[in-house]
A and B are shown apart, each in its own frame.
Chain A
Amino acid sequence: MTLNYRPHLITLGIGIFLLSFCFTGCREQEWHSFHYDSKRTSSQPNKTALSDPAKVPGLAVRWTWTAPAPGPGGNAGFRASPVVNDNIVYIGNGNGFFYALNGDTGAVLWQYPPVGSPALVTQFQCNPSSYGIASSATLTHIKGTDAVIFAAPDQSIGMHLGDSRLFALNAKTGAEIWKSPVIARLTGLTSGSKTEFHENIGYSSPIVFEDKVYVGVADQCDNPIQKGRVVAVSLDTGAIDASFTYCSTGTCADTTRGGGVWAPVAAAGDSVYITTGNTKSGAPTEPSPNNGLSMIRLNRNTGAIIWKFQPVPWVLDKDPDWSAGATVMSTSCGSVVISTMKDGWTHALDEGPGTRRWSFPPATIPFTPGDGTSHGDTRYMRGGAAWGDVYVAMNGGLNLTISGVTGGYKRLHAFNVCAAEADRLRWLIDVPNASGATYSLGHPTITNGIVYVGTDTGHLVAIADPSLVPPSGFRCSNPDVSNALCIIMGYKFVPEPAVLANIALSGRMVYNEPALANGRVYVATEGNNVYMLSP
């Protein structure tokens, strides 16, 4: 008897293919990067208990881990956010050490540098972006090894003051795979010096895309502003990729300044997407070219600009840096690149040509002198979260030009990205236990319509999209207008979504995002704690 193996082999092949595809899908329950993925969607697409409205009210702290007290040059607290893979939580602390924690218990698996080694801190400290390790990590594979990559200052190189570089470590052991050369230069400590480099990686979390790692370079709290750059290094070796160059002003070699890349770089297709900071900051003339205060699409291989969107011209630049990064959304109306500027306006662009789809609150763009708008150093600084056609973010709101710019600091808006302007605003909520002060909210994240966000009073709040849970009520779309006057004054009622959980933790969560991995919330605070919560 002759057996025919061919059908069995075909079956086996198909089975392996499908299982591997499925395995890949399930692995996405991890949280591999700041804002989840290279598109920076801040969205966990897989259904878990965290996206089940019936289970979320049962959310509770399962473990807490407190980082060791800082040594010389360090600062207590987490400004970075956790990333998660294979039940290991990775995060850097203000004390200048990077930790891997057991996802079940919070026990330290390893730390880098090892105990007794100098901390990764800088001597130029002026705001939390320069406190130890403020940049969130990203997880990847390097030559078949699970690896974690993060940015940090390192006094062992350059002028030994704390130049920033990238570190790639074995994710299981913490062993070094590579260390990049200096990426952000710190060549002196003289306040205001224009002859020293005061560059900083700060909050710009690195992202791996194809064979490169991308990270943005900004400055040390505008003291003074530096030339914004994006640097790409080889994923395999950490060597700087000289074929990729991007500088925000003038040429990379000249002395023009500004356009810091404060926010995480996003990547999709053949491009990377960045947002940039201001360029004016006392400069007598506008640099040329001036790519500051812009959302920009770059060729991922060369760094060449494909398009640039600059809503605030130089003449109106009062430092409304783009502090939130770009999110690349796959929606029913195509690929949309979206972000909110520090001035409170959210802008959505068609990803292909970079043409503006809408702005909220509605506005004529570019802004012009005398148009009644103001663009200063205000605090709409957090990235948004994307869920299908929905984008959730801080925003100045419909009263932005009426009441002044600060009113929305504790408010989340959800937008219908593809809808007509009349239906743009999906819902609106003043997040409970957010004070309304300048830094009130952290970065929101979302999983299948449940939004998670931290507040400045140390609360973690879970909010349900009204398509999942009936709203707690309806309120006027303009936060200045009472319900009684809403329709009379020409506004609409919009849902105020239900709050499913509101849990008091310890320490502010205004730089941090809740990582939603494997049905658990991992969140860090400036109170120096990492928490794991689950329903």
Chain B
Amino acid sequence: MRIAKTKPACVTLFAVVLAVAFQAACRGSRVGGTGPLPSPPPPEQMKLSNYEPQKGFTQVSPGLATRTVFVVEPTAKDPYHVEVQDLMVAPGREAVSIPLQGAATFEVRSGSGTATIGTKSQEIATGSTFSVSEGDPLKIAAKADGPISLRAYVVKVP
């Protein structure tokens, strides 16, 4: 009597274990291991990828990187120097002086911060535009939470 009751219970248990094991082998983990990855190693231990931007920025002064997008050099017939330039200002720094070879119109392409032309300051953010006359000093500060990127359309009139 005792055996008759125990045997089916054992079989049931075995069936459950078998099925659960089969299921576990059959199915992968849906969510486990898909949280954020560990932080990257410190720079000295980090293996960098070979990726290089096609048109990368070059640092021209502390906190300021630029790249040239397009240039038209002056000719005898058309003596205008036209340059389209991208600028990136690092976050969390004091205002950075922007060297300009002419008058310029700026378009903020990403981020937010402050532009100071001479002594006049204005808040700028993605989508903002402003212009700077030739010779006017321009400083840009990015807000602390991220860099600010701008596209400058610079024209130098002889």
Contacts and interface: CB of A to CB of B under 8 A. Distances in A.
B118 interface: no
B35 interface: yes
B9 A18 contact: no
A158 interface: no
Contacts of A472: 47, 49
Contacts of B9: 7
A371 B126 contact: yes
Nearest to A371: B127
B151 to A, nearest CB: 8
A452 to B, nearest CB: 15
A45 B27 contact: yes
B35 A389 contact: yes
B26 A480 contact: no
Interface stretch (B15-23, B71-79, B97-105, B130-138): B15-23
Interface in B1-32: 4-5, 7-9, 11-12, 15-16, 19-20, 22-23, 25-32
B51 A430 contact: yes
B90 interface: yes
A4 B53 contact: no
Given A25-B23, A373-B126, A489-B90, A480 B56 contact: yes
Q: How large is the interface on B (under 10, 10 to 19, 20 to 34, 35 or more residues)?
A: 35 or more
Given A11-B11, A467-B33, A47 B127 contact: no
A488 interface: yes
Given A25-B23, A372-B126, A488-B59, A495 B37 contact: yes
Contact of B110 (A332, A401, A449, A484): A401
A490 B27 contact: no
A22 B37 contact: no
Contacts of A45: 27-28, 30
Contacts of A126: none
Given A47-B27, A51-B28, A485 B65 contact: yes
B109 A372 contact: yes
A372 B53 CA distance: 22
B57 A482 contact: yes
A18 B147 contact: no
B115 to A, nearest CB: 15
A102 B57 CA distance: 53
A490 B111 CA distance: 11
Contact of B53 (A14, A15, A479, A492): A479
Nearest to A5: B8
A467 B34 contact: yes
Given A46-B28, A372-B109, A373-B126, A416 B15 contact: no
A357 B76 CA distance: 57
B103 to A, nearest CB: 22
B127 A370 contact: yes
A489 B88 contact: yes
Contacts of A467: 33-34, 37
A473 B90 contact: no
A64 interface: no
Interface string B49-90: 111110111010001010000000000000000000010101
A14 B65 CA distance: 68
A495 B40 contact: yes
B96 to A, nearest CB: 12
Given A473-B47, A482-B57, A490-B146, A389 B109 contact: no
Contacts of A351: none
A331 B110 CA distance: 30
A479 B54 CA distance: 9
A436 to B, nearest CB: 9
Contacts of B32: 388
Interface string A228-241: 00000000000000
B158 interface: no
A186 B126 CA distance: 44
A14 B12 contact: yes
Contacts of B149: 401-402
A402 B11 contact: no
A110 interface: no
B19 A19 contact: yes
Interface string A400-425: 01110000000000001011000100
B141 to A, nearest CB: 13
Contact of A26 (B26, B92, B127): B26
A22 B22 contact: yes
A46 B51 CA distance: 33
Nearest to B31: A388
Contacts of A475: 48-49, 51
A483 interface: yes
B127 to A, nearest CB: 3
A387 B33 CA distance: 10
A189 B124 CA distance: 51
Interface in A14-28: 14-15, 18-19, 21-22, 25-26, 28
Given A26-B26, A46-B26, A373-B126, A419 B36 contact: yes
Given A401-B126, A402-B110, A467-B34, A22 B59 contact: no
A15 B127 contact: no
A67 B89 CA distance: 55
A330 interface: yes
By Cβ-Cβ distance, the 5 closest A-B pairs, closest first, are A388-B34, A7-B8, A473-B49, A372-B127, A18-B19
Interface of A: 4, 7-8, 10-11, 14-15, 18-19, 21-22, 25-26, 28-29, 45-47, 51, 330-332, 370-373, 387-390, 398-399, 401-403, 416, 418-419, 423, 426-427, 430, 447-449, 466-467, 471-475, 479-485, 487-496
11 contacts: A11-B11, A18-B20, A21-B23, A29-B26, A370-B127, A387-B34, A398-B110, A403-B86, A474-B40, A474-B47, A489-B90
